[in-house]
Structure 1
């Protein structure tokens, strides 16, 4: 998934979008705030969907890790 997103966005844009979305999730930013921030980084905010999915799956994995360490 990460490779696919990098292929669409390029390495630099992927890293910027990843950081932006990660910070937005931590701060519980609104959809409008997120969209506005992403539009400053890429021409189409919809191109960032895979990065958002990647972050979601990473969060799910981190949340499940304590249960795996039984």
Structure 2
């Protein structure tokens, strides 16, 4: 399933905030279910956030 731009932005924001607050799986699922019909549709957005965090962690070591 493809998310609309608005849904993507809302899910991205929800997941980013949840990661900052170390939210529980239940809290995250509850937030996502308010935004989309199936929380599992947000897996790719979660992956994107994970890779962004990894890149930010590596950034000081990269020579551009």
Task: Classify the TM-score, shorter chain.
Answer: over 0.9
How many residues matched?
64
Alignment of 1:52-67 (within 5 A): 52-67=46-61
Q: Which has the higher contact order (CA 8 A, sep 6+)?
A: 1
Higher helix share: 1
2:4 corresponds to 1:13: no
TM-score (structure 1 length as normaliser): 0.87
TM-score (structure 2 length as normaliser): 0.95
List alignment gaps of at least 5 residues for structure 1: 1-6
List alignment gaps of at least 5 residues for structure 2: none
2:22 corresponds to 1:28: yes
Moved over 3 A (4+): none
Deviation at 1:15, TM superposition (A): 0.2
Residues of 1 paired with 2:37 and 2:11: CA distance?
12
